[in-house]
Amino acid sequence: MSLSKKTKDEIANLLKTIVREKLIKYEPETLHMPFHYRLLGKDRYAMFSFIQSMNTTFGMSIWEQVAVILAKGAGHYAERQYKLLGGIDSDTERLISQIHYKLRKGEITANKMAEIKQIREKIKKGERKVDPDSVVDLFVKIKDEENYFDITSAKPNMKEFVALKLKLLRWTGLRLSQEKNAKVSTRLAIPYNPYHPKPYERWTLKGLYDLENNEILVGEEFWNFVASDNIYEELLDVFQGVGEELREEIDRKFTEFRRR
């Protein structure tokens, strides 16, 4: 299988809309930077600033929206900024803290299935309420498996890796507090591998995550997973096609700054 024309068009239209809206609203920062301007040119510096702004937009919404389109195109239920409601009792909170502490200390190695089993056995029925960790970047239901994703930056630091693992454990508790037999998978998604073509090397906390059971999906693994097919190269082609279509519009915008 491959991406349908409908799915490709939805992604392309999303990207064109976002970039064009950015171009219309964009104004470079008003900081006076005479050395940067003289060395690089105002237009180049403005382009750099625009790209930084686009990077923020990728992190805040583009990845999530593209993933939803891909998942729905494959016939799955998908939702971004999903509200995971539930209530974790104090005994289960202690269990989760213990698991997390032992993983950090290296006393145990990550085992996703064992962690879920322990939480499932301990959890009590909880109130369906908002929790500080209730917001899930991306929810995708594939058959009866519920996948809860945190989509993070390409290079999380050690502190972020540790905090994200605790969040994934708590998501499991929140969901099972509502339906003890739910088939839950909480995962970390990294949209692209900055070390390509080498493998993703940021495994300083390898023992913290169960890589064997795809607790972390990087780049191609993530996009193919949500689409349930090998669509990664096609997805890149859609981005490239939009980039080529918008190139003149982007160049015209930044030529304006050269004249100021």
The pLDDT confidence band at residue 71, using thresholds 50, 70 and 90, is: very high
Is residue 184 a part of any domain in this protein? yes
**79 & 207 share domain:** yes
pTM: 0.90
pLDDT value for 203: 57
Distance (Å, whole) CA 221 – CA 60: 20
Structure-token pair, residue 71: 């998942």
Same domain, 79 and 191: yes
Do residues 100 and 207 both lie within one domain?
yes
What CATH number has the domain bearing residue 188? Answer: 3.40.1560
Q: What is the pLDDT of residues 31-70, one digit of tens each?
A: 677 777 777 777 777 777 777 777 777 877 899 999 999 9
118 and 14 fall within a common domain:
no
Task: Identify whether residues 107 and 169 lie together within a single domain.
Answer: yes
Do 122 and 55 lie in one domain? The reply is no
Distance CA 146, CA 179 (A): 12
Same-domain pairing of 99 and 224: yes
Mean of pLDDT over the chain: 90
Q: Look at residues 233, 236, 155 and name the one whose alpha carbon lies nearest to residue 194.
A: 155
Number of domains in the chain: 2
Question: Per the domain annotation, does 65 fall within a domain?
Answer: no
Per-residue pLDDT tens for 100-156?
Answer: 999 999 999 999 999 999 999 999 999 999 999 999 999 999 999 999 999 998 888
Is residue 66 a part of any domain in this protein? no
Give the residue numbers spanning the domain of 163: 75-228
